[in-house]
Amino acid sequence: MSEAIAGIGVFRTARAGVPQWSRRILAPVVILCALLAIWSIAATLVNPSPAAAAAGIWPSNWWNPRPTLPSPPQIAVATWTGLFGYPVTSPRSLIYHAAVTLEAALAGFGLAAVLGTALATAIVHVRLLDRGLLPWVIVSQSIPVLATAPMVVVAMGYMGFSGLLPKAVISASLAFFPVTIGMCKGLRSPQTVQLDLLRTYNASGRQVFWALRWPSAIPYLLPALKIAMALAITGAIVGELPTGAQAGLGARLLIASYNGLMLLMWATLIVASLTAGLAVGALALLERALPRFRLPA
Partner 1 sequence: MSPATPLAVLALAATVGIAALMALTRLANRPGRAAAILTPMLFAVLVLFLWEVLTRGLAVPQVLLPAPSVIARAFWNASPELLQDVRQTVLFAAIPGFVCGSALGMVTGIAVDRSPFLQQGLLPLSSFASVIPIVGVAPIMILWFGFGWQSKAAVVLLITFFPAFVNMVAGLREASPIERDLMASYASTYWQTLWKLRLPAALPFLFTALKVNASLALIGAIVAEFFGAPVYGLGFRISAEIGHLALDRVWAAIAVAAAVGSGSYALLTAAERAATFWHPSQLPGSDRNS
Partner 2 sequence: MPDSPHAETLDIETTQPREQARAAVVSVENVAVSYPSREGVFHALSDVSLRVARREFISLIGPSGCGKTTLLRLIADLAQPSTGTIRVNGGTSRQARGDRSYGYVFQTPALQPWRTALANVMLPLEIIGLAANERRARATAALMAVGLGDAASRYPWQLSGGMQQRVSIARALSLRPELLLMDEPFGALDEITRDKLNLHLTDLWRDRDLTVIFVTHSIPEAVFLSTRIVAMSAKPGRISRVIDCGLPRRRTLDIRNTPEFLAISKQVRDALSDAYANE
Through-space distance between the first and last CA atoms of the chain, rounded to whole angstroms: 20
Q: Which of 170, 233, 245, 267 binds partner 1 (CB under 8 A)?
A: 233
Applying CB under 8 A, does 147 fall inside the site for partner 1? yes
Q: Are 62 and 73 in contact (CB under 8 A)?
A: yes
| Residue 257 interface partner, choices partner 2, partner 1, none, CB cut-off 5-8 Å depending on type | partner 1
How many Å separate Cα 69 from the centre of its chain? Answer: 26
Give the whole-angstrom CA distance, residue 205 versus residue 203. Answer: 7
Give the whole-angstrom CA distance, residue 111 versus residue 108. Answer: 5
Identity of the residue numbered 289: A
- Per the document, the length of the chain is 297
Residue 111 or residue 229: which is nearer to partner 1 going by CB? 229
Smallest gap from residue 17 Cβ to partner 2 (A) = 12
Residue 213 or residue 226: which is nearer to partner 1 going by CB? 226
Applying CB under 8 A, does 48 fall inside the site for partner 1? no
| Residue 253 interface partner, choices partner 2, partner 1, none, CB cut-off 5-8 Å depending on type | partner 1
Residue 78 or residue 181: which is nearer to partner 1 going by CB? 181
Positions 14 through 33 that interact with partner 2 (CB under 8 A): 14
Using CB under 8 A as the binding criterion, the count of chain residues that bind partner 1 stands at: 62
Q: Are 114 and 268 in contact (CB under 8 A)?
A: no
One DSSP character per residue, 48-112 reads: --HHHHHTT-SSGGGG-SS-SS--HHHHHHHHHHHHHSS-TTSTT-HHHHHHHHHHHHHHHHHHH
Smallest gap from residue 7 Cβ to partner 2 (A) = 5
**In the chain, count of helices (H) and strands (E)?**
14, 0
Applying CB under 8 A, does 143 fall inside the site for partner 1? yes
Give the whole-angstrom CA distance, residue 170 versus residue 168. Answer: 5
Q: Which of 78, 175, 221, 256 binds partner 1 (CB under 8 A)?
A: 256
Contacts of 96 (CB under 8 A, 6+ apart): 86, 88, 89, 90, 247
Identity of the residue numbered 27: A
Applying CB under 8 A, does 9 fall inside the site for partner 2? yes
Q: Which of 1, 25, 54, 128 binds partner 2 (CB under 8 A)?
A: 1
Q: Are 198 and 262 in contact (CB under 8 A)?
A: no
Q: What is the CA radius of gyration of the chain?
A: 25
| Residue 6 interface partner, choices partner 2, partner 1, none, CB cut-off 5-8 Å depending on type | partner 2
Determine the interface stretch with partner 2 among 3-11, 118-126, 164-172, 288-296 (rule: CB under 8 A).
3-11
Encode 144-155: b = buried (16+ Cβ within 10 Å), e = exposed.
Answer: ebeeebbebbee
Smallest gap from residue 9 Cβ to partner 2 (A) = 8
| Residue 135 interface partner, choices partner 2, partner 1, none, CB cut-off 5-8 Å depending on type | partner 1
Smallest gap from residue 293 Cβ to partner 2 (A) = 23
Q: Which residues bind partner 2 (CB under 8 A)?
A: 1-4, 6-7, 9-11, 13-14
Q: Which residues bind partner 1 (CB under 8 A)?
A: 4-5, 8, 23-24, 27-32, 68, 127-128, 130-133, 135-136, 138-139, 141-148, 150-151, 154-155, 158-159, 181, 185, 226, 230, 233-234, 237-238, 241-242, 249, 253-254, 256-257, 260, 262, 265-266, 268-269, 272-273, 276-277, 280
